[in-house]
Structure 1
Amino acid sequence: MSSALFSPITLRNLTLKNRLVVSPMCQYISENGSANDWHLMHLGSFSIGGFGLVMTEATNVNAVGKITHKCATLCTDDNEAAMKRVIDFSKKFGVAAQGIQLAHAGRKGSTQPPALGGQPLKPEDGAWETVAPSAVPYGPGWHTPRALTKAEIQQIQEDHVASVKRALRVGYDLIEMHAGHGYLTHQFLSPISNRRTDEYGGSLENRMRFALETFEAMRAAWPEDKPMGARVSATDWVAGGWTPEETVVLAKELRKLGCDYVDVSSGGLDPEQRIPLAHGYQVHLSQKIRNEADIKTMSVGLIADAQQAEEIIKTGQADFVCMGRGAMWDPRFPWHAAEIFGDEAPYPPRSTPCHPTLRPQLFPNRQKQDSK
């Protein structure tokens, strides 16, 4: 009997071969926002490893929206051409569908890469002015962002749409709006970072306005037969912040606008957060949103065990399991997990010589199963 983890699933016209997703992971190695040989290797390697979907890192819709100088953008012709080279390669030689997460860092921009400390840039390091819903810094010692005007809000939404159109030309199968991890869209959602008194602040309806308007505009620019989702932080893990209950309301509204899934993460908005890190610590949030908002969900966060991933899908806690660091640790995780369940993960033609059925000396039990 096939495992739940390796059962196919269809989102609009896109059928994924299994429920394993490579989560978008910032690489901090782009050049003027453009992908390079590292991305070719990084995404290409995952694409041949049997995952159903590989997500490109958070890719910013304009230069101000970058986290660091080395972050990816999709706002110039050079960005587009460089990313198309990577995705063309991944599709030609791989077996996975390709998705991209579109983002804007807001007040969490203009920083050093995490490997260099992740602290705000100084003027001599090329710092730039950050923007946010309100002039509230992320934390002590961080840049105080400039509060966006309504005209600037509209321009950022147009930038999201422009990046959607570029993503379509690149050849992506799926796009995801980043509304989590304390970045701009999340900043509008949370009362901790959103102190506005106009129609974009105050009530839950107003705080959701930027996210919903942006998603609706992106969805209108993306072909109807292609899926689109959103990543959210389901809770800020801070008293007085964004809550799981509010996330359910947001997910319901996104579903009405044509959102096909919600990628459920958490935190990232406030340095005072207290996250109870443990294996699968966000799975219960995915299950809550899936059940109460009646929408497909992805679960992510310290999931690296095949049995755990199978249980998450089998028991209806999520429809997909996303892996970031776990995928980096084992870029062939689907192949290895499939052997545990006696199931099949996809192999690209150039990788079939390593298939277990062609190495009976190492996989004698698999040979017996296949001969039945």
Structure 2
Amino acid sequence: MPRLSPRLFDPITVGGLTVPHRLWVAPMCQYSSVDGMPGEWHLVHLGSFAIGRAGLIMTEAAAVSPIGRITPDDAGIWNDDHTAGWRRVVDFVHGMDGLIGIQLSHAGRKASTYPPTRGRGSVPASEGGWTTVGPSAVAWGPFTPPVELDREGIARIVAEFGDAAARSVEAGFDLVEIHAAHGYLLGQFLSPTSNLRTDEYGGDVAGRSRIVREVVEAVRARVPSEMPVVLRVSASEWVPGGVTVDDTIAALHLIDGVDLVSVSSGGNNPDQAIPSGPGYQQPLSRAVRAAIDAPVGVAGLITTPEQAEAALGAEDTDVVYVARQFLREPTFALRAAAALGGELAWPWQYNRAKYVESIP
């Protein structure tokens, strides 16, 4: 059987960073931190993807402040101890010739919630919860309504993103991603269903995207010019009156300083009707890719090497993010290379277990 010439294993340059291939690990919350600290779990969890030769590994959402955590068990990067904790992970990944990026996040009105092991809903102060903030005092479904941010509060959060970016550089990360998707704070500002403001941070697309522009500018100012800055967006809210892909494209045209756009969807409204299925987000990434100058990435139930390769071949994306399949199979990139005819060097310690051409 003739071998393909897979695009999945072509290198890609994003900003000043060349990544050896286009199969990347998507950010996935682990709910395994104490006071925001990455620990042994993160070292082994993320390190396994480096052993498996993922093109680039993304951390879970790392909160830029204590009240920016989704749950009390979330990771963070708001102090110097966190910087040192992440440095251990980064050093291991680099020691395996891998690349790693950090996702900077603030959960806004979706913060102070229970981790999956403890149920759902808002965590009260008596159990370690806190007062949440948002663009408007509009709750996400059954969660406790947030306090509407004033201009001083917005400026503080913008500065916290900048400080977190500086710590990310100190920790040695290769890339920073700004999380403006899945109904977290920046995504809340982008949506007319959660942002009811009438000042300069609300109203039309230009107003609703103002804080995102300011965050990108603050992050860009605190990282080296060659370091890629990625923006993750929910391109569709999947509810009537919510964000559409056209709104997302309009916002992206107003935002400077982004080297790659990671396209996702949903998360800002419990009434969302997501047409879930393999590749369900690729029509969104295809539309965004056609409308902007920067490369794009996409995730969404991509579980086989052939799916990943087809997404690139269809011009839907420039990078394929994979989440659950990497959890099932940390060496997914090695298997994909064997299946598609790509070239990846195995860790020498694993050479005796190399995938062979007889893989089904």
Question: TM-score normalised to the size of structure 1?
Answer: 0.93
* Superposed displacement of residue 345, structure 1: 2.0
Contact 2:72–2:129 (Cα < 8 Å) also in 1: no
Task: Indicate the SS of the match to 1:298.
Answer: strand
Give the conservation status (yes or no) of the 8 Å contact 2:112–2:129.
yes
Q: What's the secondary structure of 2:233's corresponding residue?
A: strand
* Identity between Structure 1 and Structure 2 (%): 43
RMSD across aligned C-alpha pairs, in angstroms?
1.4
Query: Does 2:36 align with 1:65?
Result: no
Per the alignment, residue 231 of structure 1 pairs with: 232
Q: Aligned with 1:206: secondary structure?
A: helix
Q: How far apart, in 2, do the equivalents of 1:287 and 1:299 lie?
A: 9
CA distance in 1, matches of 2:44, 2:103: 19
Q: Deviations over 1:221-274 (max 9, x none)?
A: 1111111111000011010011100111122233xx221111100000010001
Residue 183 (structure 1) aligned with residue 197 (structure 2): no
Tell me whether 330-339 or 113-122 shows the greater mean CA deviation. Answer: 113-122
Cα offset for 1:39? 0.3
| 2:24 aligned residue | 21
* Contact persistence 1:56–1:100 (CA under 8 A): yes
8 Å CA contact 1:252–1:294 kept in 2: the answer is: no
**How far does residue 134 in structure 1 lie from its aligned partner after superposition?**
0.6
- 2:322 is matched with 323
1:329–1:364: structure 2 CA closer, same or farther, 3 Å change rule?
A: closer
Instruction: Tell me the SS of whatever aligns to 1:253.
Output: coil
Letter in 2 for 1:283: Q
Structure 2 partner of 1:81: 84
Specify the alignment match of 1:337 in structure 2: 336
- Preserved CA contact (<8 Å) 2:238 2:272: yes
Which of 28, 36, 41 is the matching residue for 2:39? 36
Instruction: Extract unaligned runs of 5+ from structure 2.
Output: none
**Aligned-partner SS, 2:203:** coil
How far residue 364 of structure 1 moved from its aligned partner, in angstroms, is 6.7
Q: How far apart, in 1, do the equivalents of 2:125 and 2:53 lie? A: 45
Q: 1:364 to 1:243 in 2, by over 3 A?
A: closer
Distance 1:280 1:45, change over 3 A: same
In the alignment, is residue 258 of structure 1 matched against residue 257 of structure 2?
yes
- Provide the secondary structure at the position in 2 that maps to 1:143: coil
Tell me, what secondary structure is at the counterpart of 2:253?
Answer: helix
Q: How does 1:264-275 map to 2 (within 5 A)?
A: 264-275=263-274
CA shift, 1:292, in A, is: 1.3
Q: Give the corresponding residue for 2:97.
A: 95
Q: Could you tell me which residue of structure 1 aligns to residue 58 of structure 2?
A: 55
SS of the equivalent of 2:310 reads helix
Cα shift readout 1:194-241 (whole Å, capped 9, x = no counterpart): 011110011111001011111111111111111111100001101001
Could you say what secondary structure the match of 2:218 adopts?
A: helix
Matched to 1:313, the amino acid is L
Q: Is the 8 A contact 1:12 1:225 kept in 2?
A: yes
Matched position secondary structure for 2:297 = strand
For 2:286 and 2:358, the matched residues in 1 are separated by: 35
Counterpart residue identity of residue 49, structure 2: F
Post-superposition shift, 1:121? Answer: 1.0
Does the CA contact (< 8 Å) of 1:95 and 1:347 recur in 2? no
Q: Equivalent residue for 1:206?
A: 207
- The answer to whether the 8 A contact 2:278-2:301 is kept is yes
Q: Is the 8 A contact 2:23 2:54 kept in 1?
A: yes
Q: CA deviation at 1:126?
A: 1.9
Contact in 1 for aligned 2:135/2:194 (Cα 8 Å): yes
Stretch deviating more after TM superposition (314-323 or 174-183): 314-323
Aligned counterparts of 1:346 and 1:207: Cα–Cα separation in 2 = 45
Tell me, yes or no, if the aligned pair for 1:251 and 1:295 is still in contact at 8 Å.
no
State the distance in 1 between where 2:303 and 2:357 align: 26
Decide which moves more: 122-131 or 212-221.
Answer: 122-131
The whole-number CA distance in structure 1 between the counterparts of 2:312 and 2:337 is 14
Deviation at 1:329, TM superposition (A): 0.9
| CA distance, structure 1, for counterparts of residue 64 and residue 48 of structure 2 | 25
Q: CA deviation at 1:365?
A: 6.4
Aligned residue for 1:247, secondary structure, equals helix
Tell me which of 138, 141, 149 is aligned to 2:140: 138
Q: SS in structure 1 opposite 2:302? A: coil
With over 3 angstroms needed to count, the CA separation of the structure-2 counterparts of 1:106 and 1:341, relative to structure 1, is same
2:252 & 2:70 partners in 1: Cα distance? 26
Asked if structure 2 preserves the Cα contact closer than 8 Å seen for 1:28 and 1:72, the reply is: yes
Q: TM-score, normalised by structure 2?
A: 0.96
Structure 1 contact 249–293 (Cα < 8 Å) conserved: no
Which residue is equivalent to 1:369?
none
The corresponding residue for 1:302 is 301
